[in-house]
Amino acid sequence: MRKRGLFSRTALVLGLVFLYVPILSMIVYSFNNSRLVTVWDAAHSPTLKWYGVLFSDGEVLDAAWLSLRVAVCAATASTILGTLAGTALARFGAFRGRSLLVGMTTAPIVMPEVISGLSLLLLFVALEQAIGWPQGMGALTITLAHVSFCMAYVTVVIQSRLAGFDESLEEAAQDLGARPAKVFWRITLPLILPAVMAGWLLAFTLSWDDLVISQFVAGPGSSTLPMVIFSKVRLGVSPDVNALATLMVSVVASGVVVATVWMRHRQKRRERDAQLAAAANL
Amino acid sequence: MEKIERRRLVPRGLPRRQLVAGIPALWLTLFFLIPFLIVLKISFSEARLAIPPYAPLITWLHGLPVPRIHLSSYAYLFTDPLYLRSYLYSVMVAAVSTLFCLLIGYPMAYAIARAGEAWRSFLLMLIVLPFWTSFLLRVYAWIGLLQNDGLINNVLLRLGLIHHPVTLLQTDFSLYVGIVYSYLPFMILPLYANLEKHDPALLEAAADLGARPFAAFLRVTLPQSLPGIAAGSLLVFIPVVGEYVIPTLLGRTDQIMIGRMLSDEFFDNRDWPLASAVAILILLLLVVPIVLLQRVERRELEAQAVAAETLEGSA
Amino acid sequence: MNAQPSTAPDLAPPYVRLQAVSKKFGEFLAVDAVSLEIRRGEIFCLLGGSGSGKTTLLRMLAGFETPSAGRIYIDGEDMSSVPPYERPVNMMFQSYALFPHMTVEKNVAFGLEQEGLARSEIARRVAQILEIVQMSPFAGRRPHQLSGGQRQRVALARALVKRPKLLLLDEPLAALDRKLRERTQFELLNIQERLGVTFIVVTHDQQEAMTLATRMGVMDRGRIVQVGTPAEIYESPVNRFVADFIGSVNLFEGRVTAVGAQDLTLYCEACGCTVRAQHRVACSAGDTVWAAVRPEKIALATDAAPGEPLEHNRIRGKVREVAYMGDVSICLVEIESGKTVRVTLPNRSGLAAQRDLRHACVTLSWDAASPVILTG
């Protein structure tokens, strides 16, 4: 038993190293004065030079702002749609068109992005021809495109959360006189709120990071942050991109750490309360 | 245990229910289903120097609609050796990457599933954290590591293991590294979800009956983890077939994957019908895996629901 | 203290009436043409094992399942297709189903809020019911801060505050430990008497049913096998299933040898004994019947002279095992044919006397009023 444990644990450690070395290398080299990855310019490093370059690059800042707006809108719309779809799939049993809905909400997750992007662009072009809207590609088409694939992820998260949800709570609410809509608003939604928020964050990240679909549906005037980064890195290593990477990783890491710590704290408090109740007994 | 198929609480006669399912369904029909039909339609079209760059599918001749279907795009794809090789290469890369992800991810998922309570959430967080940071940036990071004057070559040179920089970038090696690196969480998470549910008492029973650890693993753990393996493998295989970013940044320049070919055909050659045909053929390739994945996922959800009901303890 | 049936029950029209109610899940018939009448103010227990259909029946009364066939009438109204939020019925769930994100007070108030009552009225009634279940000091707590017994009282309060016509209880005592269970049983009876609400309780625990019920119905595989007061069911089971399901019983299979005016005689070949019972059943000589004798109705005497031929209602045997339970001892006596007869003896003289019984040759006897003759 121990030997088996050792093998898998070694694999785990090596795997984690594998996962983190690239990220750490970017962070380290973002402070390197030299452009070259090979040379650690000890004389002038660590430096915030590249951060300065990053923040003065208008193209990058504009793109970041666009990405942010798109991501917030897309995440919010996806969360609403995904929650509706997830609820329908988890609670409505069999209904006409259910398998179609299931297919449409799971396929976008695995669909290669080039296909999704292509199909959406063709849709927008056809719409423009037919009814004159949308007029040209831009933030709107990017947002619409993102919603369509993000909501699939949110649906899975919500559906999975509801599947493991204690239905007797909803039944009890109905038994006490609440109609189904009321039950959802006052009982179900408050209790699945963490999952809804996780879904929002997931959709936000997916939209913020998306490259391929954006490339298809963005117009000549709009570039999202990933698009700008991509054009930069096709030419090779670019230190200001390292700086950007470091910033993003820090934001995400601190967010995750904060969330984890807060959840552990709540968990501990619950356990303590339960223990006190049991001890007091009756 | 009385096996009660809980009939879902159906609100009667309310339009609300139709709305709840209807609104997302409508959205997806418009933004997911119909676009595919449009792709299909355009794949039968002819490329034109126009805006949009394809000929209309239906022309009117003396007041009657006449469909103009061109199979030239498909004919081209089936006969062009470049495209055929690209398809095959893409499927092969996807299959091999899936295998690597499985070989690396399974022990990792196993280790996490067997770790203590406190460790588990921490480790999962570590696995998932890279996923929340930009996919593009993480792939880009490998450029810095793998290039001729990159970190890995530097370390190897310094250690004296090599005397000239080894070409690591823009090879099959760098492609696989990039893909496995990016898709590893997609393999680990479903595997972990499955392994975590295994009853440790089963392994103990096996040991009690005389099975050595590895045999117990083969006969008890592995078969039980097959749904997790299936889910993880499909979650990696299907999107990798059409991958664009990783092959472009890290992959070979002499053999291109099908995702990139589609993009080039579309943006560089402006041959929309051909690009559409490429897309349709990729979809046909992936229909079977996609259906398989949905079946696996549906079984998982059902199992979850049953488990939740069992906990409620109705008798 | 057992619940007493309410006075003049037969004159009042049935409060709850199930008319040939069936429920099918796909191919599986969970409830099979159940017809039942429940009177106002009584505590009716549905008793049965897993898969007997009792929970499904309860859920149909609550409105969470629609009958596949048959009708359900509550206080004269056909409720068969009325949704749960429109029924004057409330349920206490087995898991209590308290809303984790609300305080005790808010949990209890929830049902009243759905009725649209004024805030002051809601507050008054919530305070009143919490007083009755003795949970007033905990009004501001959340469910996870309560113990199992406390949660149950909140669940009860939440259901009762709406003054329902019918309260359904799903295995109400299952999650409680023994001491708590006894206390809660009596508390439930008190509250029911005080408020006069009709209870329907579903349980698999016969002891629970016997204590709580004014009447009970025994269910097996979707059907109601017998309905009656606990005493009726225990003393006069209608078939072997019921006899064996409630408490323990010794069954002697035999052929009817004589049918008299007041009694019935049968000969049990396997045990080599004759049973004469004062219980009359419709049967004729030669039929195969079973005599059911409860363990506590059997007397045990240590043998002086083995080998004497025995009269009716007596068997000889050897004590195989004695289980000392504190208040009683359970003796397993093996008779000649190999069958084991179970005898319950009160421990008047304590452990030492029971020890002597092991491996002793004994004569078992019971009087003619004890056996119940079963034809099925």
Domain residue spans of chain B = 74-312
What distance in Å separates the CA atoms of residue A116 and residue A111, rounded to the nearest whole number? 7
Antiparallel, parallel or unpaired: β C43-48 and C198-203: parallel
The pLDDT of residue C5 is above 60:
no
* CB-CB neighbors (< 8 A) of C28 in chain B: 3
Judge whether A268 lies within some domain: no
| 126-145 in chain A: CB under 8 A from chain B | 126, 129, 144-145
C26, B5: Cβ pair inside 8 Å?
A: yes
Query: How many A/C residue pairs have CB atoms within 8 Å?
Result: 79
Inter-residue contact B24 to A84 (CB < 8 Å): yes
* CB-CB neighbors (< 8 A) of B315 in chain C: 50, 55, 171, 204
- Can you tell me the mean pLDDT for C324-348? 88
**C-alpha atoms less than 13 angstroms from C-alpha of A99 in its C-beta half-sphere:** 3
Nearest CA in chain A to B21: A88
- Can you tell me the mean pLDDT for B105-114? 91
Task: Choose among C85, C146, C150: nearest Cβ to A177.
Answer: C85
Antiparallel, parallel or unpaired: β C299-302 and C361-365: antiparallel
pLDDT in tens, B233-291: 999 999 999 999 999 999 999 999 999 999 998 999 888 889 999 999 999 989 899 88
* CB-CB neighbors (< 8 A) of C184 in chain A: none
Antiparallel, parallel or unpaired: β C89-92 and C166-170: parallel
Q: C248-374: which CATH topology?
A: OB fold (Dihydrolipoamide Acetyltransferase, E2P) (2.40.50)
Nearest CA in chain B to A236: B143
The pLDDT of residue A271: 85
Inter-residue contact C280 to C326 (CB < 8 Å): no
The pLDDT of residue A4: 58
Chain C: touching chains (3 or more CB pairs < 8 Å): A, B
* CB-CB neighbors (< 8 A) of C171 in chain B: 315
Would you kindly state where each structural domain of chain C is located, as residue ranges?
A: 16-241, 248-374
Q: Is the pTM value of this prediction over 0.90?
A: no
Query: pLDDT grade, residue B8 (50/70/90)?
Result: very low
Ranges in chain A, pLDDT < 50: 1-2, 282
Q: C16-241: which CATH topology?
A: Rossmann fold (3.40.50)
The pLDDT of residue B59: 65
> Domain range for residue A218?
61-246
Inter-residue contact C215 to C229 (CB < 8 Å): yes
HEC string for C266-316: EEECCCCEEEEECCCCCCCCCCEEEEEECHHHCEEEECCCCCCCCCCCEEE
The pLDDT of residue A91: 86
Antiparallel, parallel or unpaired: β C215-220 and C43-48: parallel
Query: pLDDT grade, residue B121 (50/70/90)?
Result: confident
Task: Choose among B35, B121, B239: nearest Cβ to A110.
Answer: B239
* CB-CB neighbors (< 8 A) of B183 in chain A: none
Nearest CA in chain C to A172: C97
* CB-CB neighbors (< 8 A) of A212 in chain B: 244-245, 263
C144, A169: Cβ pair inside 8 Å?
A: no
Judge whether A56 lies within some domain: no
Domain of residue A199, CATH code: 1.10.3720.10
What distance in Å separates the CA atoms of residue B129 and residue C351, rounded to the nearest whole number? 67
The pLDDT of residue A38: 63
The shortest C-alpha distance from B302 to chain C (Å) reads: 17
* CB-CB neighbors (< 8 A) of C114 in chain A: 176-178, 182
Nearest CA in chain B to A25: B141
The pLDDT of residue A281: 60
pLDDT in tens, B174-225: 999 999 999 999 999 999 988 988 888 888 888 888 888 888 888 888 988 9
Q: Whose CA is closest to C162, among C87, C63, C90, C83?
A: C90
B315, C64: Cβ pair inside 8 Å?
A: no
Judge whether A48 lies within some domain: no
Looking at residue C2, what DSSP letter applies?
P
The pLDDT of residue B86 is above 90:
yes
A175, C84: Cβ pair inside 8 Å?
A: yes
The pLDDT of residue A273: 84
A169, C99: Cβ pair inside 8 Å?
A: yes
Nearest CA in chain A to C94: A168
Written as six digits, the tokens of B23 are 């609104």
A93 touches C at CB < 8 Å: no
Nearest CA in chain B to C65: B7
Query: pLDDT grade, residue C344 (50/70/90)?
Result: very high
Nearest CA in chain A to B41: A122
Neighbours of B220 (CB within 10 A): 18
A171, C84: Cβ pair inside 8 Å?
A: yes
Q: B74-312: which CATH topology?
A: MetI-like fold (1.10.3720)
A247 touches B at CB < 8 Å: no
- Can you tell me the mean pLDDT for C161-179? 89
Residue burial C331-354, b: 16+ Cβ < 10 Å; e: rest: bebebeeebebbbbbeeeeeeeeb
Split into its structural domains, chain A has a count of: 1
**Averaged pLDDT score across all residues of chain C:** 88
C99 touches B at CB < 8 Å: no
The shortest C-alpha distance from B18 to chain A (Å) reads: 9
A43 touches C at CB < 8 Å: no
B313, C51: Cβ pair inside 8 Å?
A: no
A173 touches C at CB < 8 Å: yes
